[in-house]
Amino acid sequence: MLASYGAFDPYCGGPAPDGLTGYLLVATPRLVDPNFERTVTLVLDHGDHGALGVVIDSPGGVDVGEILPAWRSLAAAPTEIFRGGPVASNALVALGRLTVPVDPGGGDEPLGWRLVVDGDGPVGTFDLSVPPVPAIEAVRVFAGYAGWDAGQLEDEISTGSWYVVPAEPGDALDGDPGSMWARVLRRQGGTWAMVASYPADPSVN
């Protein structure tokens, strides 16, 4: 049982943030919903209205170039369109990493750009209908997204479905999505690093 790793602490030893935009939701072993089991989700927007995010460790098998040939050369490996979540699977959401930091709203970011994770290579959402621009050095495209009504995500966190940790700029376009769940937990250290080795099927432990 998860309890063997100690009392549940969704924020991995840190304080609860004022907002979750730019944070990762790491599925706990308690979360057995097949859409989210052992996944890592990046929160793109969070507020009183609810939350929206994309699962960032679930490649979908279809190459970006098959659907969006103009963006194929900028697609981060693996160059597949990822399964972003169970909502609106026919809708595409794009994350792009910029070559240099930008001042949000300063006029030097791509059209439609919205910062999600700040850093030396900031990551944000942008409009795929706009032609590629030099400021974007790599992209990842998601089919569908994850959505929560007002208060729903907070309830899921408090009842043990998610760990909440700050995202790093490299997470959104990580090249090894298959190991991301365990790696994100291990880098937190302590109890959460131990959870990374929790068996998918406890009966084989």
| 93-142 pLDDT, tens digit each | 999 999 877 766 666 677 788 999 998 889 999 999 888 888 899 999 99
With a cut of 70, list the residues of the chain below it in pLDDT.
1-7, 103-108, 199-205
Contact yes or no for 44/54 (Cβ under 8 A): yes
The predicted pLDDT at position 4 comes to 41
0.95 exceeded by pTM: no
Place of tokens 């760990």: 163
Enter the DSSP assignment of 32: -
Residue 8 CB neighbours (<10 A): 15
**Closest C-alpha among 150, 123, 143 to residue 24:** 123
The predicted pLDDT at position 176 comes to 97
The predicted pLDDT at position 111 comes to 75
**Closest C-alpha among 93, 84, 13, 86 to residue 55:** 84
Place of tokens 């007002």: 150
Query: What are the chain's domains?
Result: 2-204 (3.40.1740.10)
